[in-house]
Chain A
Amino acid sequence: MAIKVRKPGLSTSIQDLGRPGYFHLGIPEGGAMDRFALRAANMLLGNDEGAACLEAVFMGPELEFEADTWVAVTGATMPILLDGEPREGWTAFPVSKGQVLSFGFLKEGARIYIAFAGGIDTPMHLGSRSTYVIGALGGLDGRPIAAGDTLPIGTPGKVSERKLDRALLRPSQNPVELRVLPGLYWDRITEASQERFFAEDWTVAPEADRMGYRFRGGSPMEFVPREQPFGAGSDPSNIVDGCYSYGSIQVPGGTEPIVLHRDAVSGGGYFTIGAVISADMDLIGQLQPNTKVRFVKVDMETALDARKERKKRLQTIRDALTTA
């Protein structure tokens, strides 16, 4: 079974749950920006939860099926069309040989996940099929999909018509609240700057991709004066190059915060003020440029509770879909 790519969309790539374990060599974990949506798409089809899917950002691809199969689309809200006929998101639906799947204009969110019964079956690289474009690793030759590509599909399990009750999804917010645990080099900025970071509105800048999301609109930060340590560089926002973490917030020059995401650079010489908590990373993957965002200060216990809640929500969905 295979699927033909007629049009690739904007930057559509093969992703799964990533390749942990190589960040110490500069190879990021990668994988779906919105892990929750990828897992749900696979659950709908009875796939392994970490099976490889297509992640399409802002614009969907156009795909032709070479055999009968089942499909599920989750994540952002974008009209789904099978031979021009609408289909529902968060739902498993059958497709026939020769039919064409296409998409309308994006309505809400940023990334859709297109799962196929059996999952995409490209070769594994360092334990994952995820595409890491900067390192030319994974996916199809380490690049986004292109017109004319053929996507190999694995052997499906038992699939039936399944639908996810959207009441089980995390409710959307406006403005979006990203919870942050202050730390790392947080003490490099003044108390007034620390307060402003959480009090002001920020918006997603156009520079927002799999490596990181940049935010603008807040005040420039004031640094606590110091003599720069040897090897750090002369700008007050410079540190001796160290390792970064997923979700960590760096602020080059003290102006525009960047939250590192799944394809993060593993280290560098900019100070960081803390990190977005693990439970809120998926939310970032669904932010469009110009979206208004608030950073909310939390402590470790709140971060751990949020993590438990996310896990519980996934389990509820898992239960609902396996008993259905």
Chain B
Amino acid sequence: MKTRYTFGGDEHIFVEMDDEMSLEAFFKAIAISRAVQEAKIDGVTEILPANASFEVRFNPDIIHPDTMMAKLKELESAASNAEPRMQTRIIEIPVYYQDPWTHETVMRFRERHQDPSGTDLEYAARINGYDSVEAFIEAHHAQPWFVSMVGFVAGLPFLYQLVEREKQIEVPKYLRPRTDTPKLTVGYGGCFSCIYSVRGAGGYQMFGITPMPIFDPQQQVTYLKDFMVFFRPGDIVKFAPIDRAEYDRIVAAVEAGTYQPRIAEVTFDLDAFNADMRGTNARLMEALHGN
């Protein structure tokens, strides 16, 4: 891993922990961005953690860009001694795979896809070496995911699966982006899954849909009353497959204000995870179902 610092115009510094994705790069980015936050540097206006990088926005009228850069580099050495451990939460996200709404969209934009003769799921299963769509879907929800970035549009989480690199699913984005994606579509691009928080353009492959809103500007949804965005970087997600009846039941419960996502507080330790991935994941999932 080699850290790279660069200016993005006169108001931003972009710091890339590594050019490839890994949990180590993500943890390092989170650790330094937290250190920057705690340092309360005069002139820093926003800190944006991302998958394997982070960005700092600053006001150059208050702090000279070179001074800002020097401060960030100082903080890197301090943060690299931080233990790769975090207090976080695990959340169960119900997913209706192969639902009719994303399927309709899949078919509508077929000519923009690498393989116009099949569906996104068939294509993703094949290029990742799965015998069937069902086996591929199983791989997508069996092990949990890290929210490694929140952004693109309002409250959209990027998710990185907690499995060995050789088991990571990888798919390209659409050849040309779609002009439409249903709200709450569960998508996939590169090595990341995502949940589209709002309806709109998109280039990720489409696998299913969740009935659980994750962004609500009106703040009507019970669990979004305090803040309109659900996800934070560092959240852990477990997808749970559901059928149409369960999907409809949850949609009705959200509308009635009775739906509460299943959430548990957990500690995630990267070293423990690397020593025993399946054991660590099993403990995370036990915590989810223990309360």
* Interface positions of A (Cβ within 8 A of B): 20-21, 23-27, 125-126, 132, 134-137, 142, 181, 183-184, 186, 229-235, 238-243, 245-248, 265-269, 272, 274-278, 300, 303-304, 307, 311
Contacts and interface: CB of A to CB of B under 8 A. Distances in A.
B256 interface: no
Interface stretch (B47-55, B98-106, B277-285): B47-55
Interface in B5-24: 6-12, 14, 16, 18-22
A233 B217 contact: no
Interface in B28-81: 45-55, 57, 60-61, 64-66
A135 B153 contact: yes
Contacts of B190: 231-233, 238, 240-241, 269
B69 to A, nearest CB: 10
Contact of A135 (B19, B51, B215): B215
Nearest to A308: B61
Cβ-closest 5 pairs across A and B:
A231-B21, A275-B9, A229-B20, A266-B151, A135-B154
A240 B55 contact: no
Given A25-B154, A238-B190, 20 more contacts: A26-B150, A26-B197, A134-B200, A135-B217, A137-B228, A142-B217, A184-B14, A229-B20, A231-B170, A231-B190, A233-B189, A240-B21, A243-B55, A245-B14, A245-B55, A278-B11, A300-B65, A300-B66, A304-B64, A307-B61
A134 B192 contact: no
Contacts of B53: 240, 242-243
Interface of B: 6-12, 14, 16, 18-22, 45-55, 57, 60-61, 64-66, 149-156, 158, 165, 168, 170, 172-173, 189-192, 197-198, 200, 215, 217, 228-229
B151 A20 contact: no
Given A231-B51, A239-B19, A240-B21, A20 B45 contact: yes
A278 B10 contact: yes
B18 to A, nearest CB: 8
Contacts of A229: 18-21
29 contacts: A24-B151, A26-B153, A26-B156, A27-B154, A125-B217, A136-B198, A181-B10, A184-B7, A186-B6, A230-B165, A231-B168, A233-B189, A238-B190, A241-B50, A241-B190, A242-B16, A243-B53, A245-B9, A247-B9, A265-B151, A266-B151, A266-B153, A267-B48, A267-B149, A275-B8, A278-B11, A278-B60, A304-B64, A307-B61
Contact of A134 (B18, B22, B154, B191): B154
Contact of A23 (B16, B19, B57, B192): B57
B77 to A, nearest CB: 22
Given A25-B150, A26-B152, A304-B60, A184 B8 contact: yes
A243 B14 contact: yes
Nearest to B8: A245
A243 B21 contact: no
A143 B10 CA distance: 32
B24 to A, nearest CB: 12
A302 B236 CA distance: 44
